[in-house]
Structure 1
Amino acid sequence: MKTVSVKQKLILSALTGTILISGSVMTARAEDKPSEDTQILPVAGIESVLKECYKEDVKNNIDLYLVQDDKGEYLNRAFSNVSDYVYIRSAPDETSDWTGKLYSNSTADVLEYNGDWTKIRSGSVEGYVPADSLFTGKEAEEHAGEYEQNQATVTVDVLNVRDGQDTSASIITQITANEQYEVTGEAVNGWYPVEVGETPGWVYGDYVNVQQNYAYAESKEEEEKRVAEEKAARAAEEAKKQQEAQRAAAIQSQTSSGQAIIDYACQFIGNPYVWGGTSLTDGADCSGFVQAVYAHFGVGLPRTTWDMESVGTPVSYEEALPGDIILYDGHVGLYMGDGNIVNAMNEADGIGICSATYTPIITVRRVL
């Protein structure tokens, strides 16, 4: 369903003594006597003129007699009077093909009144709807406010959305240039109420362009395109949810397995550091310690830190989980979580715990 800006205002224009009809001229002569060649202008005035227009079968082109003025905005403006939508049909009968849908919040231009049917144009759709599905004339004027939609477009790079109508009010969020938001009420002291997502707030009028919009009908082709796009979006969202669920399950599995690695490794805290050693009890160096711990779980790793830099899958430090291998320049340890590693540190400290960021990290590898 489309929404575009409309500012057309129309009235009927009557020329003194002359009524223009497509393809003909009727002239009223105030003092001349009637003759066979003279058509008399009905005394009743503009109503009779319009009646004559209909008799001359020009109602299809009634917009030819509509000119801009502030007083006649609703002469050819109509609003939908339906709970959901009404079909716009190619001919004035229920069996004709439908070309679009006029929804409950929509507006249209009247092209023709045809008994129980009215021909309209709304958005890109032109066709017939039941006359009782529209508010027209005085009713259209009375209901117009229900169909007006004010939209604010941001005109600055970044605009604060506040919880009140003053610069001292707290900032709720920020919106950026060219973003559009529905204005949800009347302006207060130059501030407009808007809704960002589901969050209500206020923006200052100097930094937004507020326009009055109307909603319009949707053609059959536009509906088909929209439905296809919505279906694709739902499928993409479902796929994303499945991927997130799989990732969460993998993380849970990794966390569980990784924690088992850490629980096992921590049993050897306090044991000695031995250069070139691989014994968790008698002594190991940094890479020998990591290799021996993983070997207990049936995972073979290279012997040196340089070779370990290419094992498994790389992850960022922010994504690190317990059991991941963190490698430094000439050193390696097992990530415990909470920003710490368990590692064979040096001859003075043996196997122990230290900060994972004590020195720059080269890479984080996940092998489970």
Structure 2
Amino acid sequence: MIKHTREKQVKIVATGLALCMLAAPLSASAAESSVLMASGGVASVLETERTLEEYIQIAQDAQGASWGYTNIGVANVESGNLNVRAVSSTDGKLVGKLPKDAACEVVETVDDWAHIKSGEVEGYVSKEFLLTGPEARIRAMELVHTVATANTDGLNVRQEPNTTSEIVTQVGQGEEMEYVETGSDGWVKISIDGEDAYVSQDYVTVEEKLDTAITMTELLYGQGVSDVRVDLVEYAKQFIGNPYVWGGTSLTKGADCSGFVLSVFKKYGITLSHSSRAQANEGTKISASELKPGDLVFYGNGKGNINHVAIYIGGGQVIHASSPKTGIKISSYKYRTPVKCVRVIHD
């Protein structure tokens, strides 16, 4: 017979009850009876009442939540990403990746596959690694986060909440920023690559969102992109969703922005410093119009001091270790104003 610790027993009972509530809401008396039967008596209820209430509240909130989904699914992988394929076969063309804990609309299920839509990606994923139904909704309640989306182009991001404060950078229309809080002074506090800043409330839309799938940038041989550039970019994409760790250089356990870059390039025999500012001087400066997959894009504060680096992957996108909250992710290379572009692969 399997024995569980009191903490695990409570979680099992509470989670089970919460799932039941999503399928058919229970009255208070029915809920109490279920707990009494599952956890063994009044003493157990008294010991676990607070935790149980929290799970019940999650279930109740999840019942009315949709986030724009009719039949939500959530990627349930240990790490990395869930492959999205054009057809329901492991031989199918890869059309996107669904990062760990990202959400999707489940259109239908066919045998061991689910037909999904997520962001700009539509295709098939293995049902084995996808939460659906009540479990997906409860998980989504834990994962939903608030973003501030720029509703104008060239939005000024300032160091302090006033129009005379220094402009840290600018972001393009449609770019999402990590939301921190809204002040009473008409300014929204946001975070860009782990650093707090401010934008005018008039030029952003604040909303709750779930992460969605990532489109695959097609890097074709014979079109000015060398084999090593293609390979480097595809290698870097394997680590999307992995954690950001200040001072880290591990592609799996955690890296900061320059640590991520140096570790990716190390595989290809290129040695770089563990500093974005230093890396900016370890290659040949190029213009944004000359960017090729594998080139480096640098960002800085309002004074032009470099404090962040990303790898250009083609299609106007970069991959970078962004912040502790978002980890390694893909963004538009103009998600904030680039201050320098550098080439370290010479082919």
Length-normalised TM-score, structure 2:
0.37
Between structure 1 and structure 2, the one with the greater Rg is: 1
Instruction: State the TM-score, normalized to the length of structure 1.
Output: 0.36
